[in-house]
Structure 1
Amino acid sequence: MARKYDVVIIGAGPGGYTAAFKAAQFGLSVALIEAKKIGGTCVNRGCIPTKALLHASDMFHMMQNCDAFGVSTDFIAFDFGKMQKYKKQAVAKYREGIEAGFERLDVDIIHGTARLRRDRTVEVELAEGGREFLQGNAVILATGAVPIMNDIPGASLPGVWNSDRLLAAESWNFDRLTIMGGGVIAVEFATMFNNLCSQVTIVEKQKHLMAPMDDVMSVELENELRRKGIKVYCDATVTEILEEEGSLSCVITPNDGSEPVKTRAGQILMAIGRRPDVSRLLGKDISLDMKDGKIAVNSDFETSEPGVYAIGDVAARTQLAHVAAAQGTYVVEKIAGRPHSIKLEVVPNGMFVSLPIVPNCIYTDPEIATVGITEEIAKTCGLKVRCGHFSMRDNGKSIITGEEHGFIRLLFEAYSNTIVGAQMMCPRATDMIGEIATAIANGLTAQEMSFAMRAQPTYNEGIGAAIEDAMRHDPV
């Protein structure tokens, strides 16, 4: 006999735990099933541990370059084991906060491996042994994604890592690191290990890093990485990994067919993407429509099985923790019959273009953050825009901190002067992008964005300067 709930959620990552919190707050009975640790990839093997190690590595990097600020030290070193301990403490503290919320809201947490069956029934192989069946008026699938590993020759050699394993490494063995892939995970790991004086090489098969990003941002990012001493090979592929004299080497083959290059690789990180984790999700008595390896959903995130929803990396076009959380909120509000409190995109008054309002953040140095559309996308949509650009070398806070590389770029629809997009590469970009996302979501104009003063000296002043610059330019 199956235990009955209003909502049964499979997966306790940002999508799953946010949905559980919302459903419980609405007074719905909730069961949340997790095979591993509460928090999913983001909390345990992704966002939180990565940013903790990035912060620790940045502290070491800053101390190496502190003489210009009148601070000197005879000796500076890092202890990778202690950095990992600090990371684990940060992860545990974050996870404990989530678990405390579940206790407060009386969410049933079930540890085990879940499998969806017909009639919105979920079969759970319990971690402590045995089997249990749960039935929900609604079921939410939030099982996330797992790293993709390339099957090129040598891929199974010791010293070839995925991001999950590398984040858990206990000892330092990364004086040289080659990274396959040029996406968010790749550039963040490159930044982290470069901070720790590792010789880092990135190999990306696309013509630029961060392929979905507009070319201007990509080129600026590549220039920044190279300035820091990171080798970047774009439009090239690692076609073979070799073990030579106790060390690894990579054969890098340019996509234009020119002569391959063999480079000493040290350790190798495969960061070529993540695929939805659906391998053990479905029982024999049910099937769901799939599209491009993801669970297919409609505009309400409902699958081909009525009453069964899929959110986050297992179904979403954009693999971001805050996207999963937003989708979880949306679905639970629909289930509970509540008005929606969150949007993923918006069509401003008088326009015909749908603007994404999901911030994309990359924790490099300087940070990168984008939202809305780029000038290139605006042109393909037939939208005339005004572009405002501000270089952070002229920003007072940047001058004070010595972080003068980067820029803020804002786009406004040319006739109404409504904000439609932003690209930032500068200190605190990941914090400041929220202002622009809010402005786009509410259809604010350049004038309306200028009403509020921005404190001096702050990096945020750059937004005001970019607005002024945009209003001085003719539409393009």
Structure 2
Amino acid sequence: MAKHYDLIVIGGGPGGYTAALRAAGLGLRTAIVEKEKLGGTCVNKGCIPAKALLHASSIFETLQNSDEFGVSTDFISFDFKKMQHYKKRSVKAYRNEIKELIETAGIQVIYGTATIRRGHTVEVNSPEGKDYYEADNIIIATGAKPVVPNIPGADLPGVLTSDRLLTSEVWNYDRLTIIGGGVIGVEFATIFNALCSNVTILERGRHLLDPMDGEVSQALEGELRRKGISVFCNTVIKEIREDANQGLVCVFTMNGEEQTLRSGQIVIAAGRTPYMEELIGPDVDFEMENGHLKVDSDFCTSEPGIYAIGDVADRKKLAHVAAAQGTYVVEKIAGVKHTIRLCVVPKGMFVELPVIPGCIYTEPEVASVGLTKEAASACNMKVGCGRYLMSGNGKSIITREQSGFIHLVFEEYSGTLVGAQIMCPRATDMISEMATAIANGLTAEQLMLAMRAHPTYSEGITEAIQNYLETKGEIKE
């Protein structure tokens, strides 16, 4: 007889373990089915290892320029193998914290490959054999895997996906080509540029980070070029081939003209696609939409009582989105008041405002939330903007990190904040204040009531609000 649970979560990543912890806290008998390691792609292969290498490479880059701050060193070098070991220790520490939380909550962890069968049954295959489990509700949180486009030569030695790049301990990245100018691509470019690699980004779209705000994309592209990273947009990759004298050669067209690029290693960072291998059994049928599991506004699939969250169902492939969706679904199942909102409609408005921060851990960092000016205009919303260049910020002057800006978007009539785009150090931390403001429908006047410490990067928020109010004529010169 199959063991029965109130909830089975398939996938132990941020969406899965957050949902399971919330469910256990609400008294639901809960199990997680995980194919590999708790933490999922984010902890083991994505966010955490990548950010660890970003931190390590940033330290090396800072030391190279330390003389400006009166700090002199005779010799600076890096050991890539040791960096990778530091990364592994960080990943293990994070994973152990998750494991401890799950054990304390009394959640059953079942290791193996899950297949959903009819009657809310989950078949789990492991080296020990096959077992069956039943649940009143099932949450699918299996995440995504790297996309490998159909490019001739993509299977050659030296052509890597982002997952494989993060596991290599041997340094052979003196000349690196990155196919894809999205978040993953620009973060890897930042890492290896800081480690003195000759880095080139080839992006299919008209600019990096498409479809992010054009002003942010343009500014970041300028910063990457200033650091020595070559960026080519509007490219189409034709093939990758080996050359006896030149190593790997990437052949691409840009604006219709064919070009070649010599590389030691090529990284394919062309996005991620839902991971659903062996997930759906022959006796169940899920409705799909553009390669994702189709869900309704409550994240329920076409099978009642079976939900899908995170990368497997959403195009916004962000760990915190998956976690928020997991919490939302569990609270719906338990019939309790929701503690989280994925979007809001401020009083007096007709447009839903997303309160999901988007963060890019380049140098400087980039973060955004809510609507851009262009998106607001597309919704027929009249807006005003406040802007501040970080070149005049005291903390930026001290740290010599003066490139960047803060751009705030306010609804014209009420002065309510509807969007923010920040490019500066600590932007990924600062964006939380803006998300909180949007979620609570705060106005420019209300935001001005908050005192921001000096000297901090956050003072730039005050300056941007003041710029908006001055433009509106509410602050007299």
Task: Determine if the TM-score, normalized by the shorter chain, exceeds 0.5.
Answer: yes
- Where do 5+ consecutive residues of structure 2 fail to align? none
1:405 is aligned to 403
Cα distance in 2, alignment partners of residues 404 and 363 from structure 1: 17
1:80 partner letter = F
Q: CA deviation at 1:75?
A: 0.2
Determine if the alignment matches structure 1 residue 261 to structure 2 residue 266. no
Cα distance in 2, alignment partners of residues 304 and 382 from structure 1: 33
Q: CA deviation at 1:236?
A: 0.8
Determine if the alignment matches structure 1 residue 134 to structure 2 residue 133. yes
3-state SS of 2:465 partner: helix
1:422 is aligned to 420
2:251 is aligned to 251
Matches within 5 A, 1:108-257: 108-126=108-126, 128-245=127-244, 247-254=247-254, 256-257=255-256
1:439 is aligned to 437
1:88 partner letter = K
2:219 partner letter = E
Q: CA deviation at 1:117?
A: 0.5
Q: CA deviation at 1:153?
A: 1.2
Q: CA deviation at 1:366?
A: 0.1
Equivalenced residue count is 472
2:318 is aligned to 320
1:292 is aligned to 290
Deviation track 1:67-125 (CA, whole Å, cap 9, x = no partner) reads: 00000000000000000000000000000000001111110000100000011110000
Deviation track 1:321-371 (CA, whole Å, cap 9, x = no partner) reads: 000000000000011111101011111111111110000000000000000
Q: CA deviation at 1:317?
A: 2.6
Is the CA contact 1:386–1:471 (under 8 Å) kept in the aligned structure 2?
no
3-state SS of 2:377 partner: helix
1:18 is aligned to 18
Cα distance in 2, alignment partners of residues 268 and 368 from structure 1: 25
Determine if the alignment matches structure 1 residue 86 to structure 2 residue 65. no
Name whichever of 244-253 and 310-319 sits farther off: 244-253
* TM-score, scaled relative to structure 1: 0.98
Q: CA deviation at 1:279?
A: 2.5
2:303 is aligned to 305
Cα distance in 2, alignment partners of residues 400 and 237 from structure 1: 42
Cα distance in 2, alignment partners of residues 216 and 192 from structure 1: 23
Deviation track 1:260-308 (CA, whole Å, cap 9, x = no partner) reads: 1111121000000100011310111001000000000000000000000
Q: CA deviation at 1:156?
A: 0.8
Deviation track 1:190-216 (CA, whole Å, cap 9, x = no partner) reads: 000000000000000100000011111
3-state SS of 1:382 partner: coil
Q: CA deviation at 1:474?
A: 4.5
Q: CA deviation at 1:237?
A: 1.8
1:368 is aligned to 366
2:22 partner letter = K
2:106 is aligned to 106
Deviation track 1:406-437 (CA, whole Å, cap 9, x = no partner) reads: 00000110111000000000000000000000
Cα distance in 1, alignment partners of residues 82 and 276 from structure 2: 35
Deviation track 1:112-154 (CA, whole Å, cap 9, x = no partner) reads: 000000111100002x411111101100000000000122111
2:177 partner letter = T
Runs of 4+ with deviation above 6 angstroms: none
2:339 is aligned to 341
1:338 partner letter = V
2:451 is aligned to 453
1:330 is aligned to 328
Name whichever of 151-160 and 86-95 sits farther off: 151-160
Is the CA contact 1:418–1:444 (under 8 Å) kept in the aligned structure 2?
yes
The sequence identity of aligned pairs, in percent, is 59
Name whichever of 236-245 and 69-78 sits farther off: 236-245
Cα distance in 2, alignment partners of residues 378 and 308 from structure 1: 35
Determine if the alignment matches structure 1 residue 38 to structure 2 residue 18. no
Deviation track 1:209-236 (CA, whole Å, cap 9, x = no partner) reads: 0001111111111101000000000011
2:353 partner letter = L
Cα distance in 2, alignment partners of residues 239 and 220 from structure 1: 29
1:211 partner letter = D
Cα distance in 2, alignment partners of residues 170 and 402 from structure 1: 32
Name whichever of 459-468 and 380-389 sits farther off: 380-389
Cα distance in 2, alignment partners of residues 199 and 212 from structure 1: 26
2:47 partner letter = C
1:82 partner letter = K
Cα distance in 2, alignment partners of residues 65 and 352 from structure 1: 50
1:380 partner letter = A
Cα distance in 2, alignment partners of residues 118 and 198 from structure 1: 52
2:351 is aligned to 353
3-state SS of 2:205 partner: coil
1:396 is aligned to 394
1:382 is aligned to 380
Once superposed, what is the RMSD of the aligned Cα atoms? 0.9
Q: CA deviation at 1:252?
A: 1.8
Cα distance in 1, alignment partners of residues 40 and 394 from structure 2: 40
2:136 partner letter = N
1:281 is aligned to 279
Cα distance in 1, alignment partners of residues 276 and 125 from structure 2: 16
Cα distance in 2, alignment partners of residues 22 and 411 from structure 1: 34
1:435 partner letter = E
Cα distance in 2, alignment partners of residues 293 and 92 from structure 1: 32
Q: CA deviation at 1:452?
A: 1.4
